[in-house]
Structure 1
């Protein structure tokens, strides 16, 4: 790492590492793979620590196969819930299509889906490289601008509550900072596509759906007249926890609301795929 002065007296820190923006699963996995190949990397993450927000909870067979050589698969399994089947079902009638992953046992070492929270996976990588200089992770560091130069990439970052501005350069930068990527925005890269006028409500609850709905798999995608929802069962130290995602049209009433009313503990977040904020009545 070298420091150089530019006009106006601001120091630029020249990094000899690949910089990765974002410490979610994608960014941390990229950092791990680089480090394991002896390519030093630096991950910059705006949050103060690994996020426990309600996010993805399923690891598929190819992912488990990929992570095994790095000693992560066994640790994930120890913290997760193995799901040999998953299903799509009609909520009103109970009719369902059952997908048995044991049928692909000849093609994978892990013929099942593993239910495990995203945050647990992220912490495994953070802990794995806690004392390994090949991968450095800096939390509480926000990247505010990225620009491509002739021989390097330049980044503007802010650290801590004082939002001290620093400049970094790196030979390569990987943008893993999600849908609102500052890397993509700074470089003028388009994110083409369209969105559905729907809102998704995510909730975690200890309500025992398996005691009230016959034949549930640990992963069940349910279709109903009032809206579609998914019941994703998780492992918990005290009781089985369900990760619930329900999708409904804006201005509508989420069908899962009755479930939340009967739950003794829940955590709810709302995400809209529309540019307009969701409204509940």
Structure 2
């Protein structure tokens, strides 16, 4: 492990997509940025796997969007279903963007692209390095850490970005509240191989009586690799197996003849919908899951975080070059309302998807089908899923 500097202009805590993007923006501007992560290596599982149009627009400014598109799978369509019935079909191909589609690509691949881009800008990730304390005063922030050998150290920085996830130590050290709640249902996430009946140009959100299920294709030479995200009433196994996922698929698409042949990775989790009360406490800022968490419906979590990182990194770079520090007020003023909208939007999607009563489901389905017949409403929904309103 290389020596960690004792001083820096900005310390970024957390080297996921959000932290990497913020560090790239700062390194490109010539800022003295130190990126710390407590894990010994980056993501080696797919986890978040949807990259939306607005995120691709943001990342095109760092010259990595083309590589992400090349490595990923282009998916221009999204559908809502109730079992075997199509309720609505959305297409991104008419949206006002150079990227009228989503890109399906595992988070591990997205992080590797961003890491190489950071290294080209002269930056690097110091890992494993666990932050053990953060204190601030009017002049700077002191970050205490323990490196991979267990040795303690400190960094004195002008600013700190907490991109360290839902259980953010940075947020706790800053004393910022994280308001919200959690869903009663458990979520299952799995990467599988199966003979799914829908075209691989389409992701599907199924509103089954058992709950929400999202199925999206993943890049693969054999063409049978998919991501499955679903709600379940019971506590699932820590790593759901093939039979468990097969039951989910059978419930959301009965009679389709779909066979899950392999589960390559799986996990269970509880989902929260929470938003930081503030995005800033003096010289400490929050971004990504440290600032907002929400339902995976729509696949917007990583996207909102990457956009946070780019916006905050850019603003800090300008201030470090001599622009007024009041410019930093723009970060919370612009990004928090966007996250509030995403949290509310995904919460509505999840609650609509998990309606159990027959009457309620019938009314919901009628409303969705009726709205889908109106081109302007279809376009507005696609526009929102693509996060183009975050411009």
Length-normalised TM-score, structure 1 = 0.83
Superposed CA offset, 1:38-87 (max 9, x none)? 22211101111111234211111111111113221110011111111111
Partner of 1:143: 131
> Which secondary structure does the structure 1 equivalent of 2:180 belong to?
coil
Equivalent residue in structure 2 for 1:96, among 70, 87, 97: 87
Partner of 2:59: 67
The Cα of 1:217 is off from its aligned counterpart by: 5.0
Partner of 1:80: 72
Cα 1:265–1:117, aligned 2, differ >3 Å: closer, same or farther?
same
Task: Identify unmatched segments of 5+ residues in structure 1.
Answer: 4-11, 275-281
Higher strand share: 1
> Which secondary structure does the structure 2 equivalent of 1:28 belong to?
helix
Partner of 1:264: 261
The Cα of 1:36 is off from its aligned counterpart by: 1.7
Mapped partners of 2:189, 2:88: distance in 1: 24
Partner of 1:9: none
> Which secondary structure does the structure 1 equivalent of 2:11 belong to?
strand
Cα 1:102–1:21, aligned 2, differ >3 Å: closer, same or farther?
same
Equivalent residue in structure 2 for 1:48, among 40, 59, 62: 40
Mapped partners of 2:119, 2:21: distance in 1: 15
Partner of 1:165: 152
Partner of 2:144: 156
Mapped partners of 1:191, 1:56: distance in 2: 22
Superposed CA offset, 1:116-160 (max 9, x none)? 111111111211233543x23112111121111231111111111
Cα 1:131–1:110, aligned 2, differ >3 Å: closer, same or farther?
closer
Higher helix share: 2
Partner of 1:224: 208
Partner of 1:185: 172
> Which secondary structure does the structure 2 equivalent of 1:206 belong to?
strand
Task: Identify unmatched segments of 5+ residues in structure 2.
Answer: 251-258, 273-391
Length-normalised TM-score, structure 2 = 0.61
